[in-house]
């Protein structure tokens, strides 16, 4: 069974949930990134958020530098079954580690609200060219309103965490959303 069909009625609530989890991560002192794993019936089977900046994290993730939102989701699920039927929704384009994990687990579809022109996996690899990733349907930024919301949310973290070159790419991709972020 393939992942659930992708249409606005399907993807928007899950991307909104990922953004809600991103705000929760930010409030806890971590980078604002959230993720939701959904089965073919459209049911959420796992939720996760970035936990890198937290002193207290769930045991399955720990306070490790790999405690990204997507990894939080995968660790909380445990053994991923029928991965090709699953859709991972995330507030921000997955980094190379999280994108690679999604592909290697065989997740059927990855949808992100906001592109990451510096830290996103698409800057480093073309999903369609990598054998492990060819089976994963990638859907970047399907909703302009949610893309802008995610960019505004992550912009301060991008400014803080990325070098000038990375911040310049963020300002170029999201000029309105990064305006006033110093």
CA gap 35, 21 in Å, rounded: 7
Catalytic residue, from 70, 93, 147, 177: name it. 70
Active site residue 135: no
- Order across the sheet with 109-114: list the strands: 44-49, 34-38, 87-92, 109-114, 137-140
**Exposed (0-12), middle (13-18) or buried (19+): which is 9, by Cβ within 10 Å?**
exposed
Active site residues: 70
């Amino acid at each position: 069974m393939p992942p659930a069909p992708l249409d606005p009625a399907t993807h928007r609530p899950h991307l909104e949930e990922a953004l809600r989890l991103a705000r929760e991560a930010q409030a806890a002192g971590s980078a604002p990134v959230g993720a939701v794993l959904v089965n073919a019936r459209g049911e959420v089977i796992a939720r996760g958020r970035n936990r890198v900046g937290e002193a207290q994290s769930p045991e399955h993730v720990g306070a490790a530098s790999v405690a990204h939102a997507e990894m939080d989701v995968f660790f909380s699920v445990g053994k991923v079954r029928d991965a090709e039927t699953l859709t991972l929704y995330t507030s921000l384009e997955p980094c190379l580690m999280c994108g690679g994990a999604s592909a290697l687990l065989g997740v059927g579809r990855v949808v992100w609200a906001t592109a990451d022109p510096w830290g996103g996996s698409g800057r480093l690899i073309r999903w369609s060219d990598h054998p492990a990733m060819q089976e994963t349907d990638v859907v970047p930024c399907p909703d302009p309103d949610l893309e802008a919301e995610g960019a505004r949310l992550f912009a301060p973290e991008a400014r803080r965490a990325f070098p000038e070159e990375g911040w310049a790419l963020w300002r170029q991709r999201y000029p309105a959303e990064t305006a006033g972020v110093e």
